[in-house]
Amino acid sequence: MTTLLGLDDYSPSELARAKTLPSRWYLDPAFLDAEQERIFSRTWQWLGASAEVTNPGDFMTGGVGGEPLVAVRGNDEVLRGFYNVCKHRAGPVAVGHGNAPALLCRYHGWTYGLDGCLRRAREFEGVEDWDPATVALDPVTLAEWAPLVFANLDATAPAWSEVLGEIPTEIAEAGFDLGSMVSIERRDYTVNANWKVYVDNYLEGYHIPIAHPGLYRTIDYAAYLVETRRFHSRQHAPFRPGAGSVGDRDRRYLRTDGEEQALYYWVFPNLMLNLYPDNLQLNVVLPIDHDHTLTIFEWFALPDLARERREAVDEAISFSDQIQKEDIEVCEWVQERLGSRAYDTGRFSVARENGVHHFHRLVHEYLCADDKTPR
Ligand code: FES
Ligand SMILES: [Fe+2]
């Protein structure tokens, strides 16, 4: 695959010497095919909110790396993941979300237990060389991290806890009650750009003074920095003391009162977690095709906040909407120009773009890894 894509032509070096990913990595549909196989099918991907699968029989469906999946809570309370693909003739064993005592294929009605094993195949007597006791849905690894559920198609991938690294400790030390938060709002945006253009943009504050003048007035830009770790990075984005009301703030800054305390993380390849004492803003970046991207914004909050401060929440969400529109405009300008004969590759600001460099190195590492390379 590396030869096919010409990956050998590019090698990311140390930040001060490195070039950005060549433009064809953002333009050639073959790269997205490779990324689906080597990145999205080998990393932890958000499947949905854990509140949808609290009780035995609760199920939800979704897709990862182009594969249809279902997560279902068993009678033993264990949440299990399966490919949502019936072993008969590839029908779906679940649609949408809901609660059911078993998974019933929507095509011819084969019934699977909540453990994925085939329980009943209608009118299938007389079939030879076929043992129903050995038929089961293919399993997939899940991780529950309240209030979120993630799936990983690669059973040999680093564990979710390894990918998160210090994040849970930092959240616990900050005293944030992530486990009690519930989903309060979701907004989807389509961006006419490659998914990596959107992630690149998220990973640096370099563009804030130019692209987000309102936001720039509220943050301490000199103190803004990005700390990179193995599979994620953390952004430190302190406020200027006394700056602005909620209306002047970035989508990340939902808190409005008192001392600001927040944690901002990006987790490779396409997840952003913006955490506050009483709420979480989740961003998920999903390629639609090589030059269209779906960005999902979902807000989770403590139930009290959702009830009592709905107005402040709504105000922050609408400001987030404005910042997102500014970011989308920039990303679409860039996508158009990546295709120009006047551009191939660029350079990084050492002070401001280490987060983007870290991302490019991980993309390169995953695309170039052969099947046996430990990650
Ligand atoms: S495809 Fe599932 S029962 Fe036929
Ligand atoms: Fe931005």
Span 325-348, pLDDT tens digits: 999 999 999 999 999 999 999 999
Both 190 and 242 in one domain: the answer is yes
Query: Can you tell me which residue has the tokens 């019933």?
Result: 104
The reply to whether 89 and 136 lie within a common domain is yes
Please report whether residue 94 resides in a domain.
yes
222 inside domain: yes
Identify which of 82, 83, 84, 88 to mutate to test ligand 1's pocket (most ligand atoms within 8 A of the CB): 88
Tell me whether residue 31 is in a domain: no
Residue 120 has pLDDT above 90, yes or no: yes
Q: What is the CATH number of the domain that holds 142?
A: 2.102.10.10
Between the CA of 106 and the centroid of ligand 1 the distance, in Å, is 7
Same domain? 209 vs 335: yes
Burial of 8 (0-12, 13-18, 19+ CB in 10 A): exposed
Residue 11's pLDDT is what? 85
Print the domain residue range for 205: 160-366
User: Is there a single domain that holds both residue 77 and residue 225?
Assistant: no
Closest atom of ligand 1 to 86 CA is 2
For residue 330, tell me if it sits in a domain. yes
CATH number at residue 285: 3.90.380.10
Q: Which of 152, 175, 207 corresponds to the end of one domain?
A: 152
290 and 252, same structural domain?
Answer: yes
- Of 119, 152, 185, which one is at a domain's C-terminal end? 152
- Counting ligand 1 atoms within 8 A of each CB, the residue from 70, 82, 83, 89 with the most, and so the one to mutate, is 89
CA 312 centroid distance within chain: 26
Ligand nearest to the CA of 86: 1
Residue nearest to atom 4 of ligand 1 (CA): 108
How many C-beta atoms lie closer than 10 Å to residue 260's C-beta? 16
- Of all ligands present, the nearest one to the C-alpha of 111 is 1
Same domain, 130 and 188: no
Q: Report the C-alpha gap between 84 and 145 in whole angstroms.
A: 22
The ligand that comes nearest to the alpha carbon of residue 203 is 2
Same domain, 84 and 202: no
Instruction: Take residue 295 and report the two structure tokens written for it.
Output: 């960005």
β-sheet bridge partners, residue 139: 82
- 15 and 357 in contact (C-beta within 8 Å)? yes
Give mean pLDDT, residues 177-201.
95
235 with 256, same domain? Answer: yes
Tell how far the Cα of 184 is from the centroid of ligand 2, in angstroms: 23
Q: 55 and 126: one domain?
A: yes
Please tell me the distance between residue 200's alpha carbon and the centre of ligand 2 in angstroms. Answer: 10
Q: Give the model's confidence band at 4: pLDDT under 50 very low, under 70 low, under 90 confident, else very high.
A: low
Residue 368 backbone dihedrals phi, psi, to 5 degrees: -90, -15
Same domain for 270 and 139? no
For residue 248, pLDDT beyond 70: no
How far from 218 is each of 119, 222, 227, 243, CA to CA, in Å?
A: 59, 12, 21, 5
Whether residue 148 is contained in a domain is answered as yes
Measured in Å, residue 335 CA sits from the centre of ligand 2 at 15
Indicate if 94 and 131 belong to the same structural domain. Answer: yes
Pocket-forming residues, ligand 1, beta carbon under 6 Å: 86, 88-91, 105, 107-110
Do residues 296 and 304 lie in contact, with contact meaning Cβ atoms separated by under 8 Å? no
Do the domain assignments include residue 8? no
pTM recorded for the entire structure: 0.92
Identity of residue 300: F
Beta-carbon contacts of residue 190 (< 8 Å; ≥ 6 apart): 288, 292, 293, 294, 295
Ligand 1, residues 105, 106, 119: which to mutate, most atoms within 8 A of Cβ? 105
Instruction: For residue 95, report the distance from its CA to the centre of ligand 1, in Å.
Output: 14
In a domain? residue 346: yes
Q: What is the pLDDT of residue 316?
A: 77
**SS3 label, residue 219:** strand
Q: Choose among 60, 275, 68, 70: nearest CA to 167.
A: 275
Q: Are residues 133 and 103 in the same domain?
A: yes
Question: Is 33 domain-assigned?
Answer: no
Please tell me the total count of domains within the chain: 2
